[in-house]
Chains A and B, each alone.
Chain A
Amino acid sequence: MVKANVKYDIKVHSAAVKSSLQYRFYRVLAVLGAVEFILVSFAAVISAYSKHRLTADLILYLSIFFGIFIGSVLKLLFMNPVRSFRKLSACYPDLKYEVVIGGENIEYRAVSANSKENSVYSASRLVSARETMGYFKLNISQAESIFFSDTDITEGNADELRKYLSNTLGNRYTVKEGWI
């Protein structure tokens, strides 16, 4: 059995946001937009020098990639963990939760000044799990996931949890080195 006690602070929230699919998607999109913008800029410069003119489609492509880059950066700023944590902690002040993993069930108990939650999930309901930079993310469904750090584990240890997740999920348990 592995037990983790988590105090949901800015550090955990920041890691949770950065590991989300949406955040990773927009980060990749921002990088792709910037790279493509630079490449098309080069193409535009070469075209302007060799043909002594700049075609309208090149200008449109430049604006598209610039738009993708700026849009993605704005979206990332909008998803800024500090900003979203401030909003979340206003609704759920002093959020703490306990996760018990082992055997047939996964138990999740959360308490904040404004709420409390008690959930029991069968281990078979686990969709996938991901370990990144010392954080575990257990995806219960498309909308629900449990997030905690290996330092939050108070009973059992991270290796025990890794073994459990590998046995339960097989290749749906993935370990990544970076946030992407």
Chain B
Amino acid sequence: MITVKAKPSRESVNRLFSVTAPPKRTIAAFSVLLLIMLTALVMSIVYYKKGRGDLIFVVCGTVLVCAAVIFMVRILRYPARRFRVLQKTAPDMVQSFAFSEEICSVRTECTGINAHSEQSYGTVRRAVYKEGWFVLIFGSGNGISFHENSFTNGTPQQLSAILREKLGRKYRVK
């Protein structure tokens, strides 16, 4: 049995969100949209200054660009915000993970929360081992992340071997 005990950190939250692909796609789509919005705004200002455009389109462009920038900043700062809220609401949170041949279990403890779950490896949607960090994303959308220094029993190589055997192509070492 491999056991891990970890306290959520800014890095662990960042690692968790770095694995989930949809935010990256959203950022890429909004970057393109923001570029088009900026072009439209610049054109509206030029037309307005030449007396060929309407003020409403300058206002419309400004509002659009501001809204897109706020949305982008919120997406980019989401992991940091999640960690800040976590620190504020559960500063004493400790998570213990146990990996056996058949199941992986997660125990979360802090003031007001005592949660324990056991899941078979069939519920793991994706797992990544990168730069000393393990990240596992479950089918529910929730995930766990921990550093290789957090092992209390077993070694990262042993866990890596179990994940490779149980998850196959869903597990990647980067």
Contact = CB atoms under 8 A, between A and B. Distances in A.
Interface of A: 51, 55-58, 60-61, 63-64, 67-68, 71, 87-88, 90-92, 110, 114-122, 124-125, 140-144
Contact of B119 (A61, A67, A114, A140): A114
Interface string B30-69: 0001001101100110010000110001001100100000
Contact of A64 (B33, B112, B122): B33
Contacts of B112: 121-122, 124-125
B161 interface: no
Interface residues on B, range: 35 or more
A87 B36 contact: no
B115 A67 contact: no
Contacts of B61: 57, 61
Contacts, number: 94
Given A71-B29, A88-B140, A114-B119, A119 B36 contact: no
Nearest to B45: A57
Nearest to B42: A57
Nearest to A126: B112
A91 B112 CA distance: 29
B140 A64 contact: no
A87 B117 CA distance: 20
B36 A60 contact: yes
